[in-house]
């Protein structure tokens, strides 16, 4: 189970799990794993993300998912850490403009907040923590980070969240302008998922 209703995250996990397994010559093991999302199971009350760290929120969501479904559960918590904002939005990234904020709302607010910040002070990084929790209580957490900087406009229509205003270190295009394959090669979420993928395969192979 991937504890999300986000179809793009589900596709991303399936892509990265397959690639990670192929890299370890374990494609057969990965093909035997069916990855479900929350839309595939009866609903349950999802927890409020009350922890102060990405790792804490990922574990919170994975624990409740595993307990509610009886299946091994993966959950991620990710967000944008902006240096000049002392690491914010951080764990509040998805709710930066309010509890019901859309990606456009969050991007517009952040652009306004940084409108007078010069380019050399716009350092930021995407952070992702992925938690794997098994029904027997076994837990694993992996983390990925993607450093870069924020630009003063939105560019591109790929990805989601703050991708159109973030340029990763070593890139000239925003995340919103990268293809899925280009983003998977460097993203924070891909790093964390690549790290957790062999753990997931090992755990399911011995369960």
- Binding site residues for substrate, as ranges? 4-9, 78, 160-163, 183, 188-189
Here the tokens at position 9 are 């995250």
Tokens encoding 173: 């295009």
**Which of 79, 73, 106, 87 is CA-nearest to residue 204?**
73
Q: At what angle do helices 7-23 and 188-206 cross, to 10 degrees?
A: 70
Question: Is 77 assigned a catalytic role?
Answer: yes
The encoded tokens of residue 88 equal 């914010």
What 3-state class would DSSP assign to 68? helix
Residue 97 CB partners (closer than 8 Å, separation 6+): 105, 106, 108, 109
Picking from 207, 204, 147, 148, the residue whose alpha carbon sits closest to that of residue 32 is: 204
| Active-site residue (options: 40, 77, 104, 184) | 77
Would you list which residues are annotated within the binding site for Mg(2+)? 77
Q: How far apart are the first and last CA of the chain?
A: 15
Distance (Å, whole) CA 148 – CA 107: 16
**Residue 91 DSSP one-character state:** G
Question: Which of the residues are catalytic?
Answer: 77
């Amino acid at each position: 189970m991937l504890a999300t209703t986000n179809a793009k995250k589900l596709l991303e996990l399936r892509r990265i799990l397959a690639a990670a397994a192929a890299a370890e010559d374990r494609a057969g093991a990965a093909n035997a794993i069916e990855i479900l999302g929350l839309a595939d199971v009866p609903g349950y009350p999802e927890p409020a993300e009350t922890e102060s760290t990405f790792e804490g929120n990922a574990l919170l969501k994975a624990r409740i998912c595993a307990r509610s479904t009886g299946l091994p559960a993966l959950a991620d918590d990710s967000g944008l850490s902006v240096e000049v904002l002392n690491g914010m939005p951080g764990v509040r990234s998805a709710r930066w403009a309010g509890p019901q904020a859309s990606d456009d709302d969050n991007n517009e607010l952040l652009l306004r907040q940084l409108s007078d910040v010069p380019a050399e002070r716009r350092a930021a990084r995407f952070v992702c923590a992925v938690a794997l929790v098994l029904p027997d209580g076994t837990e694993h957490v992996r983390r990925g980070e993607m450093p870069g900087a924020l630009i003063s406009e939105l560019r591109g229509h790929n990805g989601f969240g703050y991708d159109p205003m973030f340029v990763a270190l070593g890139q000239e295009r925003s995340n919103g302008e990268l293809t899925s394959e280009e983003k998977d090669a460097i993203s924070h979420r891909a790093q964390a998922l690549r790290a957790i993928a062999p753990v997931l395969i090992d755990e399911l192979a011995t369960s």
